[in-house]
């Protein structure tokens, strides 16, 4: 058993959960933002991503006609672009509708936008934490329990163990790194969408484009590096890209606060 892999899975899972909780409590205590906006951010993500987008995004690849279509390299990139753009449209559109329906005019301020974004990105992060927990549980079960007792075919168990054996012990920590950057981006996007209620309607479109571009840049780096056989780079470079976008996002957050968004 790779103990480092077990520890990394555990740290990644617990670290992501701690990040989500800490960020919500920090915004509440530091700026006085109500935790209800945190909950509303989570609700908006669940509705617009989990209910309205993900079901058909997951269902399409199961169709035989889609599997044939996506074999073409050009169609693969078309699908990637489509996924990135729809993520931006659904999530930022959902954020806008959330502001329009759940917030009163006086509630649409900087501190509440941050909390709204923290909830939106937080529920997404908890989904990643759940995947990390699932990975840890599956690894331990395959190590400790006879596949026959789990009703898993021996060849399937061997294949799964081979995949785990192919992981570096530190790899699960990449998910934690990625979530730190992604959460920062979510806060900035939430602040950007807020500006569309202040006479700057183009900010909603800018937020959609920024969201789509962030997703595409990360996926494109990973796909291209994998094609070149640079497996290690394909794991690390996308996280560096997320970090760069997070730095830009932090500037956006700070910049709008400097413009008088102190409430």
The answer to whether residues 197 and 217 touch, using CB atoms and an 8 Å cutoff, is no
Number of domains in the chain: 1
Which pLDDT score is estimated for 160? 79
pLDDT for 262 equals 44
Q: Measure the CA–CA gap between 216 and 84, rounded to whole angstroms.
A: 6
Residue 263 lies in a domain: no
> Does some domain include residue 58?
yes
56 CB burial (10 A radius; 0-12, 13-18, 19+):
exposed
In a domain, 165, yes or no: yes
pLDDT in tens, the chain (263 residues): 889 999 999 999 999 999 999 999 999 999 999 999 999 999 999 999 999 999 999 999 999 999 999 999 999 999 999 999 999 999 999 999 999 999 999 999 999 999 999 999 999 999 999 999 999 998 898 888 777 666 777 777 778 778 888 889 999 999 999 999 999 999 999 999 999 998 888 999 999 999 999 999 999 999 999 999 999 999 999 999 999 999 999 999 999 985 555 44
**Residue 259: predicted pLDDT:** 56
- pLDDT of 148 reads 65
Asked if 170 contacts 7 with a C-beta cutoff of 8 angstroms, the reply is no
Could you list the residue range(s) of the whole structural domain that residue 68 is in?
A: 3-257
Is 144 domain-assigned? yes
Whether residue 155 is contained in a domain is answered as yes
Those residues with Cβ within 8 angstroms of residue 26's Cβ, 6 or more apart along the chain or in another chain: none
**If DSSP codes are grouped into helix, strand and coil, which group holds residue 243?**
helix
Q: How far is CA 167 from CA 5, 8, 171, 224, 240, in A?
A: 8, 11, 6, 20, 19
Residue 206 maps to a domain: yes
* pLDDT digits 0-9 by tens, 145-187: 777 666 777 777 778 778 888 889 999 999 999 999 999 999 9
Cα-based distances in Å from 252 to 7, 8, 114, 239, 245: 35, 32, 12, 20, 11
Place of tokens 């489509």: 82
Tokens for 183, please give them. Answer: 């959460």
Whether residue 129 is contained in a domain is answered as yes
Q: Within 10 A of 156 (CB to CB), how many other CB atoms are there? A: 11
For residues 35 and 115, the answer to whether their CB atoms sit within 8 Å is yes
Tell me, yes or no, whether 194 lies in a domain. yes
Give CA–CA dist 108/229, Å, rounded: 47
The tokens describing 34, both together, are 């109500």
- Say what the pLDDT of residue 145 is: 78
């Amino acid at each position: 058993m790779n103990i480092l892999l077990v520890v990394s899975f555990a740290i990644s899972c617990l670290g992501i959960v701690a990040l989500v909780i800490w960020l919500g409590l920090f915004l509440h205590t530091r700026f006085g933002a109500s935790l209800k906006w945190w909950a509303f951010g989570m609700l908006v993500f669940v509705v617009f991503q989990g209910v309205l987008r993900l079901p058909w995004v997951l269902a399409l690849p199961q169709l035989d006609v889609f599997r044939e279509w996506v074999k073409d390299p050009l169609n693969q990139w078309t699908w990637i672009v489509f996924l990135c753009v729809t993520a931006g449209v659904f999530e930022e559109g959902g954020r806008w509708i959330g502001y329009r329906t759940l917030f009163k005019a006086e509630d649409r301020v900087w501190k509440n936008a941050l909390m709204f974004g923290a909830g939106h990105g937080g529920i997404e992060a908890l989904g990643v934490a759940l995947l990390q927990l699932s990975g840890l549980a599956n690894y331990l079960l395959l190590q400790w329990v006879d596949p026959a007792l789990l009703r898993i075919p021996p060849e399937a168990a061997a294949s799964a163990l081979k995949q785990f054996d192919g992981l570096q012990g530190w790899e699960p920590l990449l998910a934690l790194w990625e979530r730190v950057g992604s959460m920062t981006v979510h806060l900035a996007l939430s602040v950007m969408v807020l500006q569309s209620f202040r006479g700057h309607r183009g900010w909603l479109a800018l937020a959609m484009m920024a969201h789509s571009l962030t997703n595409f840049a990360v996926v494109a780096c990973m796909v291209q590096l994998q094609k070149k056989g640079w497996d290690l780079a394909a794991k690390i470079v996308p996280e560096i890209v997320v970090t760069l976008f997070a730095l830009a996002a932090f500037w956006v957050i700070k910049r709008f606060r400097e413009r008088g968004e102190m409430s």
